[in-house]
Amino acid sequence: MMLRCGTVQFHHKADDKGYNMSVVERFAREAAEAQVKILAFPEMCLTGYWHVRNLGRERLEQLAEPVPSGPSTQAILELSKRHDMVIGVGLIERGDDGRLFNTYVVCLPDGQVHRHRKLHAFESDDIASGDSYTVFDTPFGVKVGVLICWDNNLVENARATALLGADIVMAPHQTGGCHSRSPQAMGLIDPALWENRHNDPEAIEAEFRGPKGREWLLRWLPARAHDNGYFLLFANGVGEDDGEVRTGNAMIIDCYGRIINETWKAQDALVVADLDLGLLPLATGRRWIRGRRPELYSLLTEPQGHELAPRQARFSEAPVVKKTG
């Protein structure tokens, strides 16, 4: 069985939910014309992303919405029903208890709404981290999981999502071109290259393909799909984002870690691919998971004594010292 999926990169406007929703609507129409059934948009694409680190609580409250009753979720739900498509988008959620979350809302054409609260949120002191995994059934015969950005960088999250039955993981990001404290990880991209993209697309696309973008992603992202035996829909921001330049690189990866389709264009783009679901039962990762020895893994749930909160870990300048003894 083949299932057509899509993933989107786009340059959002900070604090402009009206504009960002119009982009989502446009790409949803384009995806529907291409007969896409599952469509992933980037992390916090409706509210804007990196600027929120400088916003106070009051301004964040103004951006935030309840889920599922808020206007953005209801608009996505209507798009999902109209196009008979599973659609995921990122926003800031206001929980019933008043806490704020970096949340990914996934709407299904049968009226279901699922939300994933980023497990490792670091964007603001006022944005809390979620505490549960998200895997759900769809009308298209597959289970879908969600991991937001840094959630994917920790292998425990990828494995837990696989063990909960995910066949496809929606992986919304705002990454690439980030300032990193790791000297061989990503690095900043000159925003002037993005501003000059129409006159010199080769210069910015070389950065997008290089170690600040695609090369960095390929060190680890395909392994998440391969080792866990699921398809992965990588959606990302693209372009200047409050001083950093997101690299796009929207891609669809199969359950063997192979890139089925991708882009490194310096522009808004939809990437579409047909997923061969017949690959899943004998995928290497799924076969290997059956050989797990859970009795050996208690160490994975024991604190090591140097754990930090996500925001502390993200911005810490201190070198990591391994536990000894």
Domains and CATH numbers, the chain: 2-292+307-315 (3.60.110.10)
- Hey, what are 211's tokens? 């170690």
Supply the DSSP symbol for 204: H
- Hey, what are 321's tokens? 């010292």
Please check the confidence at residue 323 and state whether its pLDDT lies above 80.
no
Cβ atoms of residues 128 and 99 within 8 Å: yes
pLDDT for 325 equals 58
Tell me: cis bond preceding 71? Omega within 30 of 0 counts: no
Per residue in 63-81, pLDDT (tens digit) is: 999 999 999 999 999 999 9
Q: What is the mean pLDDT of residues 146-162?
A: 98
325 versus 208: the higher-pLDDT residue is 208
Arithmetic mean of pLDDT over the chain: 96
SS3 216: helix
Crossing angle of helices 17-33 and 71-83, in 10° steps, is 10
Please check the confidence at residue 134 and state whether its pLDDT lies above 70.
yes
Q: pLDDT over 70 for what percent of the chain?
A: 99
Q: What is the mean pLDDT of residues 225-251?
A: 98
Q: What is the mean pLDDT of residues 34-39?
A: 98
pLDDT for 249 equals 98
Per residue in 1-23, pLDDT (tens digit) is: 999 999 999 999 999 999 999 99
Neighbours of 295 (CB within 10 A): 6
Per residue in 181-204, pLDDT (tens digit) is: 898 899 999 999 999 999 999 999
d(CA 6, CA 279): 18
Per residue in 219-236, pLDDT (tens digit) is: 999 999 999 999 999 999
